[in-house]
Chain A
Amino acid sequence: MRFLIYRYDPDADKTPRMQAYELDGFEDGAMLLDALFRIKAQDETLSFRRSCGEGVCGSDAMNINGRNGLACITPLDSLKEPVEIRPVPGMPVIRDLIVDMEPFYHQYRAVKPWLTVHDPEPEAEFLQSPEQRDQLDGLYECILCGCCSTACPSFWWNPDKFRGPAALLQAWRFLADSRDQATGERLAELEGPYRLFRCHSIMNCVDVCPKGLNPTKAIGHIKQLMLKHLV
């Protein structure tokens, strides 16, 4: 199998380049991450992030044949050759496939992704009905890999101002939570032309999410709730 991999070391290289590798003899069902491990065994200067290897940690997000995805759950036999691998778009490259995720985390932190309760806390636990708990399905599963936000043109143009699909999905996750009491503050924080409303429903986020989540739908819910709070 032929691979073309983005290589860039800002300290040594003037410009990025694409390096070709060729490998054969993969087992049935091998994933792209397996191929990257074998390439790294050949050429240990190649750098990429990975951890769990089974689509749970979200470390190995990369741009695979023009589409963001997780290398560890992308089967090799699903890929057209040569397999072009690049870092996720729009983020500062630290080295090869490793990007600086800080702009992404900054927006994530900004939506205060934790429960806020103004009442005195209950002595035992917070109770939720099964229906209230169901509201969080499709939201809590996010692994923060960043595939969605780095595939979003609105996030490319305004990474410092637009929250991006991943952070907005989490904003809705806490707005939809029956235990959270900061609805007004959360909505007020998202107002203005940039933070929420740079979303033009392009839906790249939905297309690439490796967990099959739908940030565009969550963003629609936030807009509706905002409208409800105003009228």
Chain B
Amino acid sequence: MSWRAAAGLRSWLLQRLSAVYIVAFLLALVFAWGGESVPFDTWRAWVAHPLVNVGLMLFLLALLSHAWVGARDVVMDYVKPVQLRYLVLIGIGLALAGLAIWSLRIVLLVGG
């Protein structure tokens, strides 16, 4: 069996790994800023730091790919007609891809 053939395992693994990263990033966020009310400029400067910037982009990608696997699973379980299924999957895929481009652009612009 090769990675190419392992479609089921790949998405399962993606879901698990992205979940671990999401939890780790959120914990780091709470650890760094938990409970504080942060002024916009401080926040912006923090996000502009290259390490945070890359970390945040990875977080957004992890979140969106996690959402993709989950939403695809729900559609596979509940939407039976093949054409409708493809339509719904394309809709979700485009929406998530749009969100990815939009959010990554914002973070990139802050990182300058």
Q: Which residues of A are at the interface with B, using a C-beta cutoff of 8 A?
A: 153-154, 157-158, 184, 187-188, 191-198, 200, 223, 226-227, 229-230
Contacts and interface: CB of A to CB of B under 8 A. Distances in A.
A110 to B, nearest CB: 15
Interface stretch (B4-12, B51-59, B102-110): B4-12
Contact of B8 (A153, A196, A229): A196
B1 A223 contact: no
Given A184-B1, A187-B1, A158 B77 contact: yes
Given A154-B77, A191-B7, A226-B6, A197 B1 contact: no
Given A197-B12, A227-B13, 20 more contacts: A157-B78, A191-B6, A191-B8, A191-B9, A193-B7, A193-B8, A193-B76, A194-B8, A194-B76, A195-B8, A196-B8, A197-B9, A197-B11, A198-B76, A200-B73, A226-B1, A226-B9, A230-B1, A230-B3, A230-B9
Q: Is the interface of B mostly helix, strand, loop or mixed?
A: helix
Contacts of A154: 77
Interface in B17-32: none
B19 to A, nearest CB: 13
Contacts of B12: 197, 223
A194 to B, nearest CB: 8
Nearest to B16: A223
Contacts of B5: 188, 191
A202 to B, nearest CB: 11
Nearest to A229: B1
A39 B68 CA distance: 52
Q: Which 6 residue pairs across A and B have the least CB separation, nearest first?
A: A197-B8, A157-B77, A193-B8, A188-B1, A192-B8, A226-B9
A226 B12 CA distance: 11
A94 to B, nearest CB: 25
B77 A198 contact: yes
A193 B3 contact: no
A13 B81 CA distance: 30
Given A157-B78, A188-B1, A227 B9 contact: yes
A227 B12 CA distance: 10
A175 to B, nearest CB: 14
A193 B6 contact: no
